[in-house]
Amino acid sequence: MISFLIQGGVVLIPILALSVIAVALIIQKSVFFIHIRNRIEDLGAYVIEGLRSGRARQVLTELQQMNCPEARVLLAGLQARKTGQSQELIGLHMESIAMRSADQLEKFVPYLASIANLATLLGLLGTVTGMIVSFLNLKVSGVSDPALLAGGISQALITTAAGLTVAIPSLLFFHIFRQNVNRTLARMEIAASELLTFFSRQKRSGGNV
């Protein structure tokens, strides 16, 4: 392993550092998304059905026990409505919670794309420097010795492979997390819209939560 690091050259050090950071971010975000996973597919419809059937208190209790962003948005809307706030203020409360949730969802995710790009570029840098070393050795020796070229070429291949090894999974998990973020944001928007629509219809019919 040590000889492998030595052959990879100085460029391999930041690549290894990026790999450690990438693994830490992937584990952290994976645990985060598992923790906020929603057990109910259409939470907005579930909440509205509970309100229609007169289970408002039970619905509030269930939402308070959930960790998913949709639950926090719907809970903010129900609590705002319970205090008698206007439709506009209810929407603003839910929007505020949604924006905070979106910030938590996207936290650290863009770093994985940056790590993938940096690792690839560092790998290419190692390739270039390795080839430069090879030709400098050849120039200094003045002899066409394959052994002199082998060291630089080996360094070039090691850093390129290391860079791609870090970049590929980083980019893969970036897209996976990005899709999870987009799906969660869409569910929050749909749930908030459904609840506001329900409140609007209820107001026109003269009902209360």
Q: Is residue 194 a contact partner of residue 44, using CB atoms and an 8 Å limit?
A: yes
Whole-number pLDDT of residue 114: 97
Any idea what DSSP says for residue 38?
Answer: -
Q: Is residue 47 a contact partner of residue 63, using CB atoms and an 8 Å limit?
A: yes
* pLDDT tens, position by position, 120-158: 999 999 888 877 777 776 676 655 666 656 666 776 788
Residue span of the structural domain in which 191 resides: 2-205
Nearest partner of 183 among 63, 66, 97, 102, judged by Cα:
102
pLDDT < 50 stretches in the chain: none
On average, the pLDDT of the chain sits at 86
Please give the model's pTM, rounded to 2 decimal places: 0.83
Cα gap 93→82, rounded to integer Å:
13
Token pair belonging to 56:
């408002």
What is the total residue count of the chain? 209
Whole-number pLDDT of residue 134: 72
What is the number of domains present in the chain?
A: 1
Cα gap 209→200, rounded to integer Å:
11
